[in-house]
Structure 1
Amino acid sequence: MASLPRTLPASWYCSSPLYQLERKAVFLKGWYLLGPVTKFQLGEKVGYEVAQVSLVACRMSEELRDIKVFDENTGSEFKSYITETGLVFSTISDNAPSFDDFFPDLKPLIGRVDFTKLPYRRSVKYEGKFNWKTMVDGYQECLHCQYTHPSFSVYYPPTFYTVYNHKNFSQHVADPKKADDGLFLYFFPNCTLNVYGGGMSSFRVCPTDKPGITRMEFDYYHQSSGEKFEEYFKFVRQVAMEDFELCEKAQENLEKGVYSEGILNPEKETGVAYYQQRVLELVCAQHETEKEPEPRNAYGYSSRNDVVASQLVDPASS
């Protein structure tokens, strides 16, 4: 019998040294959804911050797709990519691979929607008392949806909810028989894209330098303005706040030691298992590359490597 997938230890949600490994192993090597081309207006700088890297995106001319992304501190240009259907992605360091290597299977899915036809309406930004992975855990499974999101479940019943995992992204399908009924995507490590109800929302789960604090950034787009948009906005914000409250409660339990490590449902939590395994593999590989002999103290521990190593294998470490 195959072994069941296990969660990351709770210590990974509370540890500053482990976040520094995540930053180098995961975030500096990723691609990030900045939004459709409709978000960027000529002459305006749109600012972002991902894993303590500040960047600005600028539309350089009247051409809708003439958008470049720069390091706000150095002015150097980051690698960016605009899809045929109008989505803007960017890196935050030179360590990231090419867009096609990072997302080899993505284009057929996002080719279903012409994002150049979705006007930008509003953004919302705030901090939450939870680790970035706590929020991604919630997005990547829908076992909680029927109870936590009753209004959303009316339109997208979780009975047949399925997650299809690809290289560095996941597609969520409420009913496999209605695969075209909305587009719900998670982009590893921390971005989402949700197209339904005549509009589109996306959010970025941005880690701060404190493992228990995360900044949430939401962008909203809709065909209509005025009352129709406000109805859509109210609906999606309700779902977002339900998740927010759930994540803060979960983080409290993680930090209090109520939970240490567990087993994931092999059918209903494949999205969680997939992304957590990616984090685990990348962080462990980064740790191996950084291992080097260090002076040890009287107790036999080095200043850095042994502390991090204990958290890689011991759920009780913090």
Structure 2
Amino acid sequence: MIKIVTSCRLHMTLIDLNGEIGRVDGGAGLALPTPNVTLTAEKADEIRVEGAEAFTDRMKRAVEAVLPEGEGVRINVESLIPPHVGFGSGTQSSLSAAAAVNELYGLGMSVRDLAFTVQRGGTSGIGVGAFENGGFIVDGGHRFRDKGAFLPSAASRVPPGPVLFRRDFPDWNLVVAVPNDKGMHDEEEVAVFKKFCPLPIEEVREVAHVVLMQMMPAVMEEDLESFGSAVNHVQNVGFNRLEHYVWPDIVKEVSAFMRTRSYGAGVSSFGPVVYSLVDNKAEGQELQAEVQQMLDESLGGTVFMTKAKNSGAEISRL
């Protein structure tokens, strides 16, 4: 029997949705230990996925994509990542199911092979990188001639972009708010990409400048203030600036409040997850309580404090 425990991810920014120099997408993000997908798997006479709720069909498709002909598997899902909130649930659920088959049958496929086979990582490579190695990740996107259009990952059919930079994230506290709402997904998400892309090249250059010359060095030098400034900066430029128009009011209110009480705050992907970076546990607990009250008085939701996960999915034999 195989047991798999994944990460989830925060997607901080896409880099290039212009394509002028021949590449698109690229992004920066971070792996977290929770929420996660936890499952066990064993060989069986048929394909059975139990406990996956809304992810049952997705995980079955992932299994079918890699399972040797004539074989079967039984997967029991113990925990899931909430769908469509900004944690990258689709990638983690698909990869965990495919990785279970890969381990059970000794297929020898890499994480990137699995991601391409189950059609994940076609826009952002952060979720694939989080599953593979965790930490803080910057990926290099795709050749535009290969992808052919500005599309979200769920509608893209290209391999994950190359990882340009991966580093253990410093021992910083993050306060993460999860309002009871859903972000854009499926056809709505495709429509947003089609409406707003290509973005002005000046904004692409600004985002790339911040990621290369502020975010990445701040991680390497463990400079929390600079990293928080970079997070704040990229909320107001590039695709993040456009996503602001489709966020619910409570997401805007929570992110603005958290920004005043932390080193930096942002919205992960299309949200509604909001994350912030704080200096110490006491400050984090105070902010957590205040944001929880904001959610309790509006849509409801949960707030928790965590740190980055600097390793990939945990795969073990029982």
**TM-score, normalised by the number of residues in structure 1:** 0.29
- Bigger radius of gyration: 1
**TM-score, normalised by the number of residues in structure 2:** 0.29
